[in-house]
Chains A and B, each alone.
Chain A
């Protein structure tokens, strides 16, 4: 079953006009914001495919920036996100790319400030559901049909085990997991799909673990 909950059908509550081009775009921006961990001072946003063709009409640009500001899909400040970003000193630029993407609704986000940068590629697959297919150069292969965790961490022994223990303690089962790193001992990424819903308390507990840099959740 692709759709498990009645609230996939009677929901989500969202700012219009499009579940894929607006609500999905907010969620891509929001994942980037959560993984970056703070408000960026600049953002370079590239649109591909259908996003490149229609982003102005659907408010896809406004929606991604709203996500970067930490607004959710139903936040009534969403339509004013570009003005709010400008007022808060976030420098945002958009570009519509010619390249043909693998998925029609694709956005590449590069965000940063004086202390760091993050690059992420997200796709909006319909009904407000999204997938993150690339993060800081790491390719991700999440099904998008289950809640998922993205955890940036230092490549040290015991980190993966500690995360798995926290999940086990909360009776959360791991259905699929990928671990990748750029170089031995440097920045690494865990992408974990689970069978049970993920609470904010759980995210906070994971963030307290040693060697964890950032944690973000993707709802199914």
Chain B
């Protein structure tokens, strides 16, 4: 059993195995299920993620009408070829939004680690698919690697916006994705941990302030930026750049920041963007004036 990132990396290095393999072995041990069953379940979750992105790229609209269509808009922009950043990173942004738009429209998604942050991990995976040409098993391993880092955050800090703000949701997801990207690209376990640290460091302090309490504004665009953050953090780690603050201490810092964050900024729709004039007007339109005044 690993309890923190240092132990996870040490376990992988000791046996010269991937972080994904450490997570698979632990899951088999803890669940009492066979290796085949555990891998088959992750394969199923991967298939759910694929379908969600496909559906989002066909175009969806939420019940409130607040979100939908931006994933498609970004794909058209990429096809135009006149983008400023890069095709792979914008594809990750588009596919992250696709998943969250489907989530907002009451479609089927796989929470990673939560429903509100479900876009980042699949968005980055499907964006690098064309460049890295992973096998099905390597894509499944990507999810186990992401899961291993998320498991540490969930047990040592939080993955809940109500407990830790958006840094705990999209921040955790960005760190998980960055680490998994590094391993998929052939980086070492230590580099995966550096990528997680770099991604999460840049999400620290991010509040959870959903307009009208809905998992839509700004959640869809926060997933877009979480995906972009993960891609850059992975590239930085693969370039040999290290985080001066070790990954476990970044996670600890995230926990402390979450605990110090005011309740109004932790998924209560009382502060931040939710409390702006436009945010309140949207809430009033959806729920009636009484709910918006609270």
Binding site for B on A (CB under 8 A): 1-20, 22-23, 50, 53-54, 56-59, 62, 74, 76, 78-79, 104, 126-128, 196-197
Q: A17, B216: Cβ atoms under 8 Å? A: yes
Q: Which of A4, A14, A78 is B115 in contact with, Cβ under 8 Å?
A: A14
**5 A-B residue pairings within 8 Å (CB atoms):** A7-B27, A10-B45, A10-B113, A15-B106, A23-B111
Report the bound CA distance from A214 to B18 in whole Å. 46
User: What chain A residues lie within 8 Å of B63 (beta carbons)?
Assistant: 57, 59
Nearest-Cβ distance from residue A116 to partner chain B, whole angstroms: 32
Residues of B within 8 A of A4 (CB): 30
Q: Which residues of chain B have a CB within 8 Å of any CB of chain A?
A: 23, 26-27, 30-32, 41-42, 44-45, 48, 62-64, 102-116, 118, 121, 143-144, 146-148, 150-151, 154-155, 159-160, 162-163, 176, 212-216, 268-269, 286-287, 291, 294
Picked from B30, B102, B155, the residue with its CB within 8 Å of the CB of A16 is: B102
Q: What 8 A-B pairs come out closest when comparing CB atoms? A: A16-B103, A9-B150, A6-B147, A54-B213, A17-B215, A79-B106, A3-B154, A10-B147
Question: Which residues of B sit under 8 angstroms from A126, Cβ to Cβ?
Answer: 160, 162-163
Q: Which residues of A contact B45 (CB under 8 A)?
A: 7, 10-11, 13
In the complex, what residues of A have CB within 8 A of residue B103's CB?
16-17
**Are A127 and B159 closer than 8 Å at their CB atoms?**
yes
Chain A residues, Cβ within 8 Å of B48: 13, 74
B173 vs chain A, min Cβ distance (A): 10
A9 nearest in chain B by CB position: B150
Partner of B108, one of A8, A56, A58, A76: A76
Are A18's CB and B147's CB within 8 A? no
B147 near A16 with CB under 8 A, answer: no
Q: Which single member of B108, B121, B162 contacts A13 (CB below 8 Å)?
A: B108
Inter-chain CB contacts under 8 Å: number = 146
Task: Report A-chain residues with C-beta under 8 Å of the C-beta of B108.
Answer: 13-16, 74, 76
Known: A8-B151, A10-B112. 12 other contacts (CB 8 A): A6-B26, A6-B42, A6-B148, A14-B108, A14-B111, A16-B106, A54-B213, A57-B287, A58-B213, A58-B215, A59-B106, A197-B31
In the bound complex, CA of A200 to CA of B64 (Å): 38
Q: Which of A1, A8, A10, A57 contacts B212 (CB 8 A)?
A: A57
* Alpha-carbon distance A22/B144, docked complex (angstroms): 25
In the complex, what residues of A have CB within 8 A of residue B118's CB?
16
Is A18's CB under 8 angstroms from B116's CB? yes
With a cutoff of 8 Å between Cβ atoms, the chain A residues found around residue B147 in the complex are 6-7, 9-10
CA distance A144 to B134 in the complex (A): 38
**B143 close to A10 (CB less than 8 A):** yes
Q: CA–CA, A64 to B278, complex, Å? A: 31
The residue from B111, B150, B294 contacting A53, defined by CB atoms under 8 A apart: B294
Q: Across the interface, do B32 and A197 meet the contact criterion of CB distance under 8 Å?
A: yes
- List chain B residues, Cβ under 8 A from A59: 63, 106
Across the interface, which residues of B come within 8 angstroms of A22, CB to CB?
Answer: 106, 115
What residues of B have a CB within 8 angstroms of the CB of A19 in the complex? 111, 114-116
Contact B160 A127 (CB under 8 A): yes
Among the listed B110, B162, B213, B216, which residue makes an inter-chain contact with A12, where contact means beta carbons less than 8 Å apart?
A: B110
Query: How far apart are the CA atoms of A1 and B7 in the complex, in Å?
Result: 15
Bound-state Cα–Cα, A62 to B26, Å: 37
Specify which of A3, A53, A56 is in contact with B155 (CB 8 Å cutoff): A3
